[in-house]
Amino acid sequence: MELLAKSSFSFLRGASSPETLIHQAASQGHQTLGIVDHMGFYGSARAHTEAQKLGLKAIVGTTIDQISHCPPLTILTKSRTGYQNLSRFLTLVHCNTKTTSLADFSPTGTHAVLTPESLNKQTKGQLLTTAIELRNHFGAHNLSIALFRHFRRGEERRNTLLRDLANHLKIPLLASNAPIYSKRSDRLLADAFTSLRERCTLDEAGQKLECNGERFLKSPQDLHNLFTDYPQAIRHAYQLSEECSHFSLQDLGYRFPSYQDPQTGKLFTEQEQDHYLHYLAHQGLKKRLLKISEKHLKQIDNELFTIKKLKFSGYFLIVWDLVRFARTQGILCQGRGSAANSLVCHALGITSIDPVESGLLFERFLSMNRKSWPDIDIDFPSGKRREAVIQYLYQKYAPYGAAMTANVITYRPRSAFREMAKALGFCETISKRFSDLRNSLRDREISSEMMTPPTQRAFQAEVGELSEIIIKSGVPASHPRFHSLVQLYIAALNTPRHLGQHSGGMVFCDHGLDHIVPLQPATMADRMVLQWDKDDCEDLGIVKVDLLGLGMLAAMEDTIKICERRGHPVNLARISKKDPKTFDLLCRADTIGTFQVESRAQMATLPIMQPKNFYDVAIEVAIIRPGPIVGDLVHPYLNRRTGRESIDYIHPDFKPILERTLGVPLFQEQVLRMAMLIADFSGSEADQLRKAMTFKHPNERMNPIISTLRERMSKRKVSSFVQDRVIQAIGSFALYGFPESHAISFALIAYASCWLKAHRPAEFYCGLINNQPMGFYSVNTLLQDAKRHHIRCKPVSVIHSMIETEVIDDHRLRLGLHQLKGLSYQTMESLIEARSQKQFQTFDDFSSRLPMNKKELRILAASGALNDFPEIAHRRDALWKVEHSLSEDLFTHTQPTSKTTLPMMTPLERLQTDYHFQGATIGAHPMKLWRQEHSEHLATSFSLGQLSHGAHVIIAGLVICRQRPSTAKGHCFISLEDEFGIANLFIPQKTFQQYRLTITTEEFLLVEGRLQITEGKQPTVYVIQVQPFFRSSKLSTSSHDFH
């Protein structure tokens, strides 16, 4: 019967999670618990889900403190109408830039509570006026005055005043302890949160903290004892709980929008939706396939039957409409994830894979056993084009009909330590050191966490390890605040910190989403976000569609457009999946700039893998994942493929499942089917396993499933050796699960990007350069790679360049103005506009027609963009002239008094300037320049291929990528670029530790080591010694680092 509890979703106003509060309430014998989080229903969804499990009723409410001329008010919901009214009002409060008054709130179905906290800012007279206003607005029966007993001085006087007010206005009294944490011990975190909210340390917070630890959730008996002198307040608490418990979030009234006829605007009935989907699917199939097989027809009818039975036709139509909109706008898109298992999705153009041909299972996507909504994720080109689709949905369901799902940002180890240390007054250095030390321990933690069930891990050991890190961070165990720090850190971990925006999950509703859940503006302009995250939405049956941004799609879309403009269009849907040129490119790992297969690890595997067909590409995409590496699964696959190892199916029964991947479980679907086969897992159990694999904290959900799995396997008398191998495979996938359909969808993009690189290299590089930053490599590396493919780049020129980089012909690109760092988009537009009216003739003509600021003119001059003017001899000449034009008299055009005396830039100076203003150069590689000036002999990336295994090597170059994946046991991988290409370095853990600072801070490295020619004839330098390569001048280079 406690009605006024605040959870940690009140963000720094509550210290216990909704789930903990509900658990505590259940253990204390409460039948109901009201969660009244600050300014929203943030924690109500979780409280509801947990309460359902424990047979409790979670009452929904909120505390609002932004109503004009009104003290902070707690409002509880009594019915769905009340909930909807309150949800709409909260949306209004969050979204309205003007003040919101009570008049904007329809009180039907709600109950307001005036709490003692209201007295803080009001005089007696003001309080009376407010109470009368509230009574008039809500009605005397829908307003209560709460009494708190936190054993504070002065509390009784306040309670007496409230009692008199209640008697005077005939408003009932309500007994409550207004808990902000579940147990007395949680006060520590509540105090720390208060100090963080008040932006001070605990020492400075003083009286802003609670004076005692009485604000915990008290049992009904304790509440009775507290308010023996106010029995009517206790009675009313029960009565109000009873009234409010008639509504729960189960009755949210959410309905996925029906498909709307684009011509008439009429909403389709269910039957009409079924018919229309049937029509569209069959039409789409005819368009997609030249010849429709019996198998296809049977499959599509089967799918349509399931969709109709589950009443999901409208959902498919709406997603189809979305994809159709994107296509009409020329926006490339492709469904990914399990949707690729559906032939209907393929027929509707949502996905590009023919699941029948690829042998994908529809049941993985949708089945009668599964009650949850199907999950369709669609990739769009990142940036403006994806935003256009999102805005289309906002417009279509406006106002307040669509929003992004929230992303609950919780306290992670670093943030928890930093914030708690701050509250305790520790200096920032300690937090930084903690964070560094935790990073170095990360690898060990992740692997050990996964392999050992938490039940076996002693909590004490965990605390011991944590204490050790804290001590190393600079807080000795003898420090008086050491234990408080440990306690607070543990308490704060995983507690909600703030609400973010999900990367792409969007929810929509055709009758006002703000009735279903409060919405609030996101930090990003023109975006709304709802107060629940995707799991909350899923638990409450709210359907989301993931609209994800993919940089490569944007690059490919640009490539295709350029191809069209140049008169040799490309239809990606029609390109051959058996193109020899593309497979050659893949086999020789010439994949810089492509999708998914461009990383160093992928490039090292490709020559071993020697992909020969499309499915090989899908395996290649899936194989270089942390998951399979953890499970030691990559090498067995490659060994088996090259015939060095015999094929083993773990268990004979797994042969049909694992045959395609040579006995190695590479895909999530295989793991699920293995579980179904060997442990008799039902469809829903397999679904739980799938969910656990994709859950952020897999241990939480995975451990009970693994126990069941082991139990069932034991029952079926499966040997413990096989059991261990099955569990090990599942454990690895729980960390980095990768579904087959997903791999195939990605492989499609990967293959298409390789095809474009093989057949349309100029357009491909252009598309990539125009969509940076994306992928693995910088523009400079792409330009160097383009050069190796005989594609030259012309420099930026104010006479010839457009804003974006353009293709001149098959072997030449013209860099766009966008390459110049520091040149505003507005300036670029003005330049193009002025030039479109009349080409610039001379520099004077240019500077007089285009007023630009000093900085921008200097950038143009220094980067050589003014060199095409007849009177400009070289970059320095331009720089000399530019400075004069800036200091010209306002009314007279004086001639410069002296001619340029500045010398031309040397090649090295040009290189430095290019890196500084463009981050890339079209000139010679810095290593080439160095070699021209020095006679010392160093190996090159090219010469490595000609040396024998074990040869002693000294090589230098520009670091373009540093990788130290958590699964690599501390070893480091570096890609070193020179004028010939990229050399791969392997730095063993010991050597890395010895030269850590040099490796992580220097731009150029000189390394000494042994050459290793690995399988696939890939040369790798096994590094023994590292030193900075001083002799190269300072450049503003950037590398892609993961360490």
Partner 1 sequence: MNYAALYFQDLSLNCLLAREQIPPDQPAALLSHQERKKSHLIASNQAAQSMQISPGLSSTRALARYPELLLLSPDVSIEQSTRIEVLAFVETLTPNFEATTPEIFLFQLSTTKTHSISEWINDTIKHSSTILNLPLRIGLGKTPDLAHLSSISENSEKPLELKLTTPALSRHFFIPHLETLNLWGIKTLKDLAALPRQGLSERLGTQIAQLHDIIHGKYHRRLTLHQSIKRYQSHHHFSHPIENHTPLLFVAKRIFRTLCNQLQNHQRAAEKIQLTLLFENQSTHTRDLPLFEPTCKSHILLRTFHTYLEDFTAPAPILELHLELQPTLTRHAQYQLFQKSLKDPNQFGDTLKKLTEIVGASHLGIPQNINTHHPDHFKLHPIDTSFQIPALTLRTPRSHLPLKRQRPPLHLQVASEKRNRFLYPLALLTGPYQGSVLKTRGPFPLSGSWWDEGWQQIQWDIELKNTLLQLTFTPPKMWTLTGVYG
Regarding 204 and contact with partner 1 (CB under 8 A), the answer is: yes
Q: Which of residues 100-119 bind partner 1 (CB under 8 A)?
A: none
Our CB check for partner 1 shows the closer of 29 and 139 to be: 29
Angle between helices 428-451 and 413-423 (to 10 degrees): 140
Our CB check for partner 1 shows the closer of 212 and 682 to be: 212
The site string for partner 1 over 154-193 (x = CB under 8 A, - otherwise) reads x-x------------------------------xx--x--
Among 26, 92, 132, 209, binds partner 1 (CB under 8 A): 209
Stretch that binds partner 1, among 308-316, 625-633, 876-884, 1017-1025 (CB under 8 A): 876-884
Q: How far is the CB of 543 from partner 1 (least distance, A)?
A: 46
Regarding 449 and contact with partner 1 (CB under 8 A), the answer is: no
Q: Which of residues 59-78 bind partner 1 (CB under 8 A)?
A: none
Tell me how far the alpha carbon of residue 566 is from its chain's centroid. Answer: 36
Regarding 825 and contact with partner 1 (CB under 8 A), the answer is: no
- β-pairing, 1018-1028 vs 1040-1042, is unpaired
The site string for partner 1 over 914-953 (x = CB under 8 A, - otherwise) reads ----------------------------------------
Q: How far is the CB of 151 from partner 1 (least distance, A)?
A: 5
Question: Of 1005, 1008, 993, which is closest to residue 1030 (Cα–Cα)?
Answer: 1005
DSSP per-residue string spanning 349-405? TS----HHHHT--GGGT--TT--SPP--EEEEETTHHHHHHHHHHHHHT-SSSEEEE
User: Quick one: DSSP state of residue 71?
Assistant: -
User: Quick one: DSSP state of residue 842?
Assistant: S
Our CB check for partner 1 shows the closer of 272 and 909 to be: 909
Q: How far is the CB of 50 from partner 1 (least distance, A)?
A: 29
Regarding 152 and contact with partner 1 (CB under 8 A), the answer is: yes
Among 103, 458, 525, 997, binds partner 1 (CB under 8 A): 997
Total number of residues that touch partner 1 (CB under 8 A): 51
Q: How far is the CB of 85 from partner 1 (least distance, A)?
A: 37
Question: Of 25, 55, 547, 564, which is closest to residue 336 (Cα–Cα)?
Answer: 547
Among 862, 929, 955, 1006, binds partner 1 (CB under 8 A): 862
Q: How far is the CB of 198 from partner 1 (least distance, A)?
A: 11
Q: Which of residues 428-447 bind partner 1 (CB under 8 A)?
A: 429, 432
Among 104, 117, 844, 883, binds partner 1 (CB under 8 A): 883
Our CB check for partner 1 shows the closer of 368 and 904 to be: 904
Our CB check for partner 1 shows the closer of 571 and 898 to be: 898
- Beta carbons of 878 and 867 less than 8 angstroms apart: yes
Q: How far is the CB of 141 from partner 1 (least distance, A)?
A: 34
Among 104, 117, 214, 579, binds partner 1 (CB under 8 A): 214
Our CB check for partner 1 shows the closer of 712 and 884 to be: 884
DSSP per-residue string spanning 442-462? HHHHHHHHHHS-GGGS-HHHH
Among 1028, 1033, 1036, 1043, binds partner 1 (CB under 8 A): 1028
- Beta carbons of 792 and 817 less than 8 angstroms apart: no
- β-pairing, 173-176 vs 143-148, is parallel
Q: Is 935 exposed, middle or buried (0-12, 13-18, 19+ CB in 10 A)?
A: exposed
Our CB check for partner 1 shows the closer of 328 and 887 to be: 887
3-state secondary structure of 999: helix
Q: Which of residues 217-256 bind partner 1 (CB under 8 A)?
A: 225
Long-range contacts of 671-674 (CB under 8 A, 24+ apart): 671/729, 671/730, 671/733, 671/737, 672/364, 674/650, 674/726, 674/729
Cα separation, 613 vs 583, whole angstroms: 8
Cα separation, 856 vs 885, whole angstroms: 13
Stretch that binds partner 1, among 229-237, 574-582, 737-745, 881-889 (CB under 8 A): 881-889
- β-pairing, 952-963 vs 1004-1014, is antiparallel
Q: How far is the CB of 59 from partner 1 (least distance, A)?
A: 27
- Sequence-separated (6 or more) residues with CB below 8 Å from residue 793: 783, 786, 787, 805, 812, 813, 814, 815, 922
Q: How far is the CB of 898 from partner 1 (least distance, A)?
A: 4
Regarding 858 and contact with partner 1 (CB under 8 A), the answer is: yes
Q: How far is the CB of 655 from partner 1 (least distance, A)?
A: 54
Regarding 879 and contact with partner 1 (CB under 8 A), the answer is: yes
Cα separation, 817 vs 887, whole angstroms: 25
Q: Which of residues 899-918 bind partner 1 (CB under 8 A)?
A: 901-903, 905, 909, 913
Q: How far is the CB of 797 from partner 1 (least distance, A)?
A: 19
Regarding 876 and contact with partner 1 (CB under 8 A), the answer is: yes
Regarding 891 and contact with partner 1 (CB under 8 A), the answer is: no
Q: How far is the CB of 183 from partner 1 (least distance, A)?
A: 14
* H/E segment holding residue 673: helix 668-679
Query: What are 356's two structure tokens?
Result: 């029948």
Q: Is 720 exposed, middle or buried (0-12, 13-18, 19+ CB in 10 A)?
A: exposed
User: Quick one: DSSP state of residue 703?
Assistant: H
Cα separation, 108 vs 110, whole angstroms: 6
Our CB check for partner 1 shows the closer of 204 and 810 to be: 204
Q: How far is the CB of 901 from partner 1 (least distance, A)?
A: 6
Regarding 852 and contact with partner 1 (CB under 8 A), the answer is: no
Q: How far is the CB of 563 from partner 1 (least distance, A)?
A: 39
Stretch that binds partner 1, among 108-116, 152-160, 251-259, 587-595 (CB under 8 A): 152-160
Query: What are 120's two structure tokens?
Result: 């803080």
Between the alpha carbon of residue 258 and those of residues 321, 396, 509, the distances in Å are: 12, 13, 9
Cα separation, 142 vs 108, whole angstroms: 9
Phi, psi of 938 (to 5 degrees): -125, 150
Among 263, 328, 523, 898, binds partner 1 (CB under 8 A): 898
Our CB check for partner 1 shows the closer of 762 and 879 to be: 879
- β-pairing, 972-978 vs 981-987, is antiparallel
- Sequence-separated (6 or more) residues with CB below 8 Å from residue 724: none
The site string for partner 1 over 132-151 (x = CB under 8 A, - otherwise) reads -------------------x
Phi, psi of 530 (to 5 degrees): -95, 170
Our CB check for partner 1 shows the closer of 428 and 711 to be: 428
Q: How far is the CB of 193 from partner 1 (least distance, A)?
A: 13
The site string for partner 1 over 474-503 (x = CB under 8 A, - otherwise) reads ------xx--x-------------------
Among 357, 653, 868, 1002, binds partner 1 (CB under 8 A): 1002
- β-pairing, 377-381 vs 334-336, is antiparallel
Among 134, 424, 540, 1007, binds partner 1 (CB under 8 A): 424
Query: What are 574's two structure tokens?
Result: 């029609």
- Beta carbons of 732 and 446 less than 8 angstroms apart: no
Phi, psi of 36 (to 5 degrees): -120, 65
Binding site for partner 1 (CB under 8 A): 151-154, 156, 187-188, 191, 202, 204-207, 209, 211-214, 225, 424, 429, 432, 480-481, 484, 858, 862, 876, 879-880, 883-884, 886-887, 896-898, 901-903, 905, 909, 913, 995, 997-998, 1000-1002, 1028, 1030
